[in-house]
Each structure stands twice: as C-alpha cells, then as structure tokens.
Amino acid sequence: MSVRSTALFTDRYELTMLEAALRDGTAGRRCVFELFTRRLSGGRRFGVLAGTGRLLSLIRDFRFDDDELRFLRDHRVVDAATLTFLESYRFTGSVRGYREGELYFPGSPVLTIEGTFAEAVVLETIALSVMNYDSAVATAAARMSIAAGDRPLAEMGSRRAGEHSAVAAARAAYIAGFGATSNLEAGRAWGIPTMGTAAHSFTLLHDSEEAAFRSQIEALGTGTTLLVDTYDIRAGVETAIRVAGTGLGGVRIDSGDLPIVAAEVRTQLDELGATGTKITVTSDLDEYAIATLAAAPVDAYGVGTSLVTGSGTPTAGMVYKLVARQADDGAWVSVAKASTDKASKGGRKAAFRMLDHGTATQELIVVSDGFEAVDTSVDHPDARALQVDLVEDGTIDTSYEDNAGVARAREHHARVREELPVQALALSRSDPAIPTVYMDAE
C-alpha cells in the first residue's frame, strides 16, 4: 500500500518563507526550533504530552511527491527553484523532547527540532496540529482518570470529532489512563482494547425491550451490558435480569440524575439477586461529573464529547518558535520573540524535574548560549532528566512509534503521574502545580 504524503498539512507561509530564504541564502543556516506552551490552557495544574509517536511517523512521510509538487506549481504557491528543493526534501535533522505521556508545565521544551531553516521551518504546522490536539485530549483524560480513581474509563467520542481526530483522541486518552475505546480504527491502528454493545436504536428496532435484550444475550452472551434506559429504567432493569438471569454482566445508564439513578439501580439489582452485575454510566460526562459520582455505586464510565474536545480546552496552546541560529561565521546566536504577552526565551534548553522524596517540586530549565555543552542528569543528580533523542540525523527512533510506542507512553504516564504533588490532583482552576525555574548553564 502506498504511503500518503503529509507534506501539505502545512500552512502556506511556511513555503513562502522557505522560498525567500532560498533566494537570500539563509535557508541553509542551522537553526533550533522549540515547541512549548507559555501557559497551561484552562487553568489546568499540569499538562500531559501526547502525539509524539504519531508526529514521528508523519515526519517520515513528509515529502513532496508528484501530486504535491503539481498542486504547488499549478497554484503558483512557490517558484521553480523552491519546487526543485522540495522535490528532494527529507528531514535530516534531529528532534529531542519529552517522552510521550510525560507531564509538562509552562515553558517546558517538549520538543526541540534542529536542522537547517529550510528543513525545520516547514514542520511547524504539522507538529503543532498533532501536539496541540493530542495533548489537550490527554490532559483532559488524565483529569478524568484522576477523578475516576480505580474505576475503568472507556472513550466513546468518535461521533463528536472528525474521523481522523477521533482516532487520535482515542490514542491520547488511552495513554492518559483510559482503558478502552469504541473506535475500531483506533484498535486496529494503535492496539487499544475496543468495547461496545448496543445503542438505543437496537432496542427501538424490536417490538419490545425484552425482545431486544433476548437478541443481544443470544448474540453476545450473558456477560454483555444491556442499555436499560430507553423507556423506563426500573422496568428495564427488571426485564434485563429476567431475560439474562442474575449473572448478567452489566447494565448501562445514559440519562437521568446519575448519582440518584445509579443508587436506585444498584438497590434494585441487589434485591433481584444480581449482586455481581456492574453499572456503567455515560451521558455527557466530564471530570466534574465523574467526581460527583465518586460516592455513587458506579463501576465504570463511558466518556465522549467532553473528552474529544479537551473538556472545554480543545488545544494545549503550544507554539513553535526559533530560539537559536548559526550566524555566517558559524557562531550560535540565541534569538527570542519580544512581543507583549507572547515573548519567548532564546537558547538551547535542557529540562529536569526536581524531586523531593519522589514528589515533583520544580520544572528546571537550563538555558545554554554556548550550545556545545548542554547540562545532563550528571549535573543535576537530584532531578529527573526529561528529554530523550527522538530523531538523530534524520533517523527516527522507532521504539516511540506504533503500538509499542503507545504502550510505553501509557506506562510512562502512569509512572510520572505518581510524582504530582497532592494539590495537582484538584480539578479547580489554579496556577501550575509546580513552578518553572530557568537557570543559565555554567
């Protein structure tokens, strides 16, 4: 199967800048770009990085084939010399960054892209498209996972997102603590467990609720979950147990005042002898609704709209900025944007998580102007180094891609989330859980 190029997932201005730089001779200057966020969107206390593995694969496929070049030529986007350059474009630089699933804070250099200006500048849009969306979903998912505690969560938001975003959202949610998805493409592409039984339409298809339940039981067995709120919840529960017996796997509730309804259903199930039948609730849940259900007899949650839209914060607010470049004499020059409320900090950065008995206390960013020697974990023995090499001289570390990369990211997230101080677990808007501190390299 042919691989579709990702090169036109690009804003036009990236190519017009490239054309101008090729004309004036600056396109070949070595540059360092940095992807970071100035603040945590939505008053969140921490962010969760997601999308890294997806981005690496997209960079591999970032090339201008005949169709892409024809479009650029026909629409006169760039001149002939730029088309010639793009025809042989391959990213040969390096990418260093936080591991997928890692926590981040304002200023965290979650990705550092180094290469010539020509090869690095054109990656801006695709990098931000992936990292902003996936990280917003992962951050929302982590908050929901914290609110849910030990109760499992399933992602069910495909119908509230674009078809490709739905798959990305399922992936990000799984990394941040969700256990399953309803999206089969996410299961195929990323190895995420899939789940799903029946919707209200299946009940409405049949002449009675009982007929629908009998059909589902015959097809899927008594371990299935029956949706009991199409008509009357109490009658639905009674019918479900009469049809399936007390060994019914579960019932799902998708409407009503969930804490009250869940308590009533639990009592009814127990009275009917179905003490092992689990209760799953859905119905427009977010982290706040999940938190209100903490004391309710609920066994699992299904979350859709709120999750795939970042629970009101659909982007992580990340930016992609040039922080250093080589001058004509080969010397490195730190550069930074000074615009009001949009300033950046120049220089190559090394990032560390300061820990006190395993609890995060500070995001330490060491800024180097020399670029020859960058701080390592040896220089900061009381901290955890946050950056890893993702791409070296154009060669991608494949261990961060595909299903194995997703599994590693999920494991890493679960591990580093344990470092959060207790105040980070609150759902209210507040300052970041730990401060970001900058220090000049010696």
Does residue 5 carry a pLDDT above 90? yes
Per-residue confidence (pLDDT) for residue 321, from 0 to 100: 97
Instruction: For residue 310, give the nearest of 411, 172, 416, 186 by alpha carbon.
Output: 172
Whether residue 54 contacts residue 171, with contact meaning beta carbons closer than 8 Å, is answered with yes
Mean of the pLDDT values across residues 108-116?
98
* CA angle at 300 for the pair 299 and 301, rounded to the nearest 5°: 145
Percent of the chain surpassing pLDDT 90? 92
Does residue 414 or residue 442 have the better pLDDT?
414
pTM: 0.96
DSSP state of 270: H
Say how far apart CA 366 and CA 406 lie, in whole Å.
29
Nearest-Å Rg of the Cα atoms of the chain is: 25
DSSP state of 327: -
Per-residue confidence (pLDDT) for residue 370, from 0 to 100: 60
* Cβ-based neighbour number of residue 18 at 10 Å: 22
Per-residue confidence (pLDDT) for residue 373, from 0 to 100: 58
Say how far apart CA 225 and CA 395 lie, in whole Å.
46
Per-residue confidence (pLDDT) for residue 3, from 0 to 100: 59
Two tokens, residue 368: 């180097």
Whether residue 107 contacts residue 438, with contact meaning beta carbons closer than 8 Å, is answered with yes
Say how far apart CA 31 and CA 372 lie, in whole Å.
14
Residues 229-240: tens digit of each pLDDT? 999 999 999 999
Say how far apart CA 308 and CA 332 lie, in whole Å.
41
Domains, the chain, with CATH or none:
12-137+313-440 (3.20.140.10), 146-306 (3.20.20.70)
Residues 269-322: tens digit of each pLDDT? 999 999 999 999 999 999 999 999 999 999 999 999 999 999 999 999 999 999
In which band, very low, low, confident or very high, does the pLDDT at 337 lie, cut at 50, 70 and 90? confident
Residues 365-388: tens digit of each pLDDT? 999 876 655 777 778 888 999 999
Mean of the pLDDT values across residues 152-167?
97
Per-residue confidence (pLDDT) for residue 344, from 0 to 100: 84
Per-residue confidence (pLDDT) for residue 1, from 0 to 100: 33
Whether residue 354 contacts residue 383, with contact meaning beta carbons closer than 8 Å, is answered with yes
Per-residue confidence (pLDDT) for residue 355, from 0 to 100: 96
Does residue 260 carry a pLDDT above 90? yes
Mean of the pLDDT values across residues 16-42?
97
